[in-house]
Amino acid sequence: MKNIVLIIFVILLTGCVADRKGEPSIEAEKVLNCPELVEKAAKNLELLKVDPLLVVGWKQTILSKKIQPCSACQKLNVAAYVLNDEDNIYKPAMLEFINDVGKEDPNTAKEASKPYISATSVNDKEMERYALAQQYMNAIEQLQTFLTSEIRITSVKARDFVLDNYFIPLLQEQQKMQEQIQTKTETDSVEPEEK
């Protein structure tokens, strides 16, 4: 099951994130001089566990230019808010989503991972949970895009970074939850011995 969910997530990431091959972002050409956003993005990159040497090099290079990637930095800052999840709302929703997708038949699991869920098939609480999970996946996608287009690391390294730091820990946490549920179920089902 874990492999199926991991494959689905890799498909989502590779399908949604285009390899920009080091091209400058279009937004950078339209907006001039935004050092505050660059500074905040650099701090967020460090919070997101990106290599500090890469962050310092990127920040120095970007701040020395007349044109800076304001829009990309703004998107990264929003993604960092979601991924840091200080209010603990996005990760639990993502764990539920992983759990739901893991229950699906492997042949239909990709359909279950689509962001659009029919309003007739789920209730409002489920819709909210799927929306939060989608925001978490979008934040991961935005981080991967930023790493390839702005920090200029390879798409393979960016994908490995988000998998290692964000998706695999979620899979491990989901597996622990499943083991705890299974242990509790087994403990509850054992009848006390008669004396």
Residues 163-176 pLDDT 10s: 999 989 988 988 88
Q: Six-digit token pair at 72?
A: 């990309």
Q: What is the mean pLDDT of the chain?
A: 79
Q: What is the pLDDT of residue 177?
A: 82
Q: What is the pLDDT of residue 81?
A: 96
Q: What is the pLDDT of residue 109?
A: 47
- Give the residue with greater pLDDT, 130 vs 29: 130
Q: What is the pLDDT of residue 167?
A: 86
Whether pLDDT at 117 is above 60: no
Place of tokens 């909210």: 128
Whether pLDDT at 52 is above 60: yes
pTM above 0.85, yes or no: no
Instruction: For 41-99, give the secondary structure using H, E and C.
Output: HHHHHHHCCCCHHHHHHHHHHHHCCCECCHHHHHHHHHHHHHHHCCCCCHHHHHHHHHH
